[in-house]
Structure 1
Amino acid sequence: MDLPAATIFFVIFTAVIGVAGTRLSKTADQFADLTGLGEAMVGGVLIGSINSLAGTITSITAAYQDYPELAVSNAVGGILAQTTFLAFADISYKKANLEHAAASYPNLMYGTLLIIMLSFIFLITFSPEFSVKGTNPASILMIIGYIAGVRMIWKAKRRAMWIPKSTESTVEDLVLYAEDGGLSKKVLR
């Protein structure tokens, strides 16, 4: 593919992602309300998984095709980019500091889980090389750790040991959508 065609495709697909992402955020809020999972859980797991899908496939494919450096740098670069985009979101949210407005126990725990997972990657990188059939057992531990962490966040959501201080800038996660008899969504007022 030549550069002009690649540029046109890039612009088109960027626009599609922008439109779909906007629709996805509204649908995710409805899903969070209808299932009772809450915005933090849906955002952290479901939307996080959807956003990471392309990067995950890229890293897995790169590893399979024997490009380990590309696989790792793609994953770490994706985390770095999304963390930077959080700064852009904070800049665009004019009502208050975004982290303050979204202060919740699940969000605090997601941040802690991210720090633990990234620290684990750092630890593995500087540990002696060890593998079983070409796989570092730490990779399996990371998957188990992520699942256990999300499960712990889900349980802690129901019985939080810490409650963020609410101020006039804190935005509560209110249920805006409910199911009626026909299972269609409607806005509650």
Structure 2
Amino acid sequence: MFSSLIPSVIAFGVAALVIVIAGSRLARQADILADRTGLGEALFGVLLLAGVTSLPDFAATLSAAIDARPDLAMSNVMGSMAVNLVFLGVADVFYRKANLEHAAASPVNLMLAGLLIVLLTLPLLAVVTPTVARWRVHPVTPVIVAAYLFGLHLVHRTRAKPMWFPRHTHQTVADEPARHHRGRSSTVWFGFIGMAVVTGMAGWVLMEAAKGIA
């Protein structure tokens, strides 16, 4: 798509900026929708916000796979997860009330941490085990999808009937619905979906620009 270096660098920078701006708007809209749907911030975050904000990664990984660049596809996914954890550390610096992980302690987040550990081990198993494929698909691939869906089921069940509770302190922030949100829910949903589309398109442009830079 981008044949020379300078247009690729410009497109990369613009797409990255669009993702940052759209991501901040998505976070605000997700906060409103989490309260209005009754899902709560943690559950809404994993069910919808995480999926939407991962659209750039999905578009980039899919584009790299279609373009026969398996190393780029794999490194994009693994690198994205590593950087996201770094972002959590950066966010902790700016959250001045308490330790961010301590303030967000909840059964749902504890279950999500366990799910993340399980999902991270599966691709590693595919890498170190003998090459076995059926229709050019590794057996671990459907296991990853099944584990994710089953994990979401456990997360939802944990929110409804927690099997354990973190010890609450004065620094723990409870997920309580805010009462100051204005505007109709349909408007917020349209805004959320619109930002999701913009984010996904920007992710595709980002990967195409990365190919030109590489």
Q: Supply the distance in 2 between the matched residues of 1:75 and 1:144 (Cα, whole angstroms).
A: 18
Aligned to 1:168: 170
Q: Supply the distance in 1 between the matched residues of 2:171 and 2:181 (Cα, whole angstroms).
A: 29
- Runs (4 or more) in structure 1 with deviation over 6 Å come to none
Question: For each residue in 1:51-99, what CA deviation from the matched residue of structure 2 results, as whole angstroms up to 9, or x when unmatched?
Answer: 2111112212222222211111111111111111111111111110000
Q: Supply the distance in 2 between the matched residues of 1:43 and 1:80 (Cα, whole angstroms).
A: 18
Q: Supply the distance in 2 between the matched residues of 1:179 and 1:21 (Cα, whole angstroms).
A: 19
For the 8 Å contact 1:33–1:175, the answer to whether it is kept is yes
Amino acid at match of 2:65: A
Aligned to 1:111: 113
Q: Does 1:78 align with 2:72?
A: no
Q: Which moved more, 1:97-106 or 1:62-71?
A: 62-71
2:54 counterpart SS class = helix
How well do the aligned residues superpose, as a CA RMSD in angstroms? 2.2
Q: Does 1:24 align with 2:29?
A: no
Q: Supply the distance in 1 between the matched residues of 2:56 and 2:18 (Cα, whole angstroms).
A: 14
Aligned to 2:45: 43
Q: Supply the distance in 1 between the matched residues of 2:98 and 2:115 (Cα, whole angstroms).
A: 25
Which stretches in structure 2 are left out of the alignment for 5+ residues?
A: 188-214
Q: Supply the distance in 2 between the matched residues of 1:57 and 1:18 (Cα, whole angstroms).
A: 16
Q: Supply the distance in 1 between the matched residues of 2:163 and 2:84 (Cα, whole angstroms).
A: 28
Q: Does 1:87 align with 2:89?
A: yes
Show the 5 A alignment for 1:141-156. 141-156=143-158
Which stretches in structure 1 are left out of the alignment for 5+ residues?
A: none
1:63 counterpart SS class = helix
Q: Supply the distance in 2 between the matched residues of 1:25 and 1:12 (Cα, whole angstroms).
A: 20
Q: Supply the distance in 2 between the matched residues of 1:77 and 1:179 (Cα, whole angstroms).
A: 36
1:131 counterpart SS class = coil
Q: Supply the distance in 1 between the matched residues of 2:34 and 2:103 (Cα, whole angstroms).
A: 18
Q: Supply the distance in 1 between the matched residues of 2:181 and 2:12 (Cα, whole angstroms).
A: 39
Q: Supply the distance in 1 between the matched residues of 2:129 and 2:42 (Cα, whole angstroms).
A: 34
1:7 CA drift (Å): 4.3
For the 8 Å contact 2:23–2:53, the answer to whether it is kept is no
- % of aligned pairs identical? 36
1:138 CA drift (Å): 1.1
Give TM-score scaled by structure 1 length: 0.88
Aligned to 1:59: 61
Amino acid at match of 2:173: V
1:179 CA drift (Å): 9.3
Aligned to 1:132: 134
